Structure 1
Amino acid sequence: MLGAMSDLSKLLDDTVRPTVVKDLSDLVDRTVAAQSGLTGMAIKSAVAAAKKADGDVVSKSINRFLPDIVDSLAPHWNDYDAEQSAGFGNFLASRQDDVTNDVLTLGDRFAQQGPAAVQKVYSSLRGKTGKIIAPALPEFGDIVERHAK
């Protein structure tokens, strides 16, 4: 499905990218806000500290790493058949373990490029990341599909 990849690369187009970044940033904010317990407090504190240093840190990070995110999604997008699935979000959710591993691989790479404080927080939360990411996969996939069309 060669055409599918060209559609996914549309997310990087100058006319589409700002909206993709905004929608994904909003998803991150909602996902962080929905966290509870000790992990939720740790995540919320880490994000709040990052935002205190730079109010646009989430959107800047998404924008910076969007090409890597697109590359990571490409195999899933290429396997996706819109005719046979109930949306790319549900498709990603049905491959939750693989997608979560891909996200963790990206997260590892991103954290290594960040300051020591980010690396420390990320490493302490990494094991719980799958439980945080999984519920957001349907909406994440829907955002990607909406902008790739």
Structure 2
Amino acid sequence: MTNLNALLEGDTRQTVVTELAELIDKTVSNQSGLTGMALKSAVAAGKKADADAIPKGVNRLLPQITEELAPFWSGYESSDTQGFGSYLVSRENEVVEAMLGAADKATSDMPSAMQKAYSTLRGKAGKIVSPALPELGDIIERHAK
């Protein structure tokens, strides 16, 4: 049985941060409509202020993310499911709420423009996060073992 603490250590942490930041960029770029435009604008503003805003944010949130995913990881390890991504998808609503809970806790540390953008998009965040769960799980599994 493994735990997710390995994701927080040394080179593994940097690799996980990089891959999660890439997943976020890809997820944002795949958005469309008014929500997509708002999300893309918020991310662009954050990157204009700091080109490394996404990786820095992921690095800051990684302990909370691993804490939120830990119960799902334990359930996955004792299940017959093939792939952590598939396991997360099978518990989509719970996982999305856990991920959004981690983001909610972090909003107080965000710049006010990012807080405003997050609060505007929070209600639609589940639809943004859900399609990324398989790849999120794959990234976590690849580096946790």
Tell me if both proteins adopt one fold, taking TM over 0.5 as the criterion. yes
**What's the CA shift for 1:4?**
2.4
**Stretches of structure 1 lacking an aligned partner (at least 5 in a row):** none
Alignment of 1:1-149 (within 5 A): 3-5=1-3, 8-81=4-77, 84-149=80-145
Q: How many residues align?
A: 145
CA, structure 1 residues 30+82, in 2 after alignment: closer, same or farther (shift >3 Å)?
farther
Q: Report the aligned-residue RMSD.
A: 1.1
Q: TM-score, normalised by structure 1?
A: 0.94
CA contact (8 A) 1:9 1:70 kept: yes
Q: d(CA) in 2 for partners of 1:123 and 1:30? A: 21
**What's the CA shift for 1:81?**
2.8
Letter in 1 for 2:41: S
**What's the CA shift for 1:83?**
6.3
SS at match of 1:135: helix
**Stretches of structure 2 lacking an aligned partner (at least 5 in a row):** none
CA contact (8 A) 1:82 1:88 kept: no
Q: TM-score, normalised by structure 2?
A: 0.96
Q: d(CA) in 2 for partners of 1:101 and 1:21? A: 21
| Deviation beyond 4 Å, 4+ runs, structure 1 | none
- Overall identity of the aligned pairs, in %: 53
**What's the CA shift for 1:82?**
7.0
Provide Cα deviations, 1:57-97, integer angstroms capped at 9, x if missing partner. 00011111111111111100011137611200010011000
Letter in 1 for 2:59: N
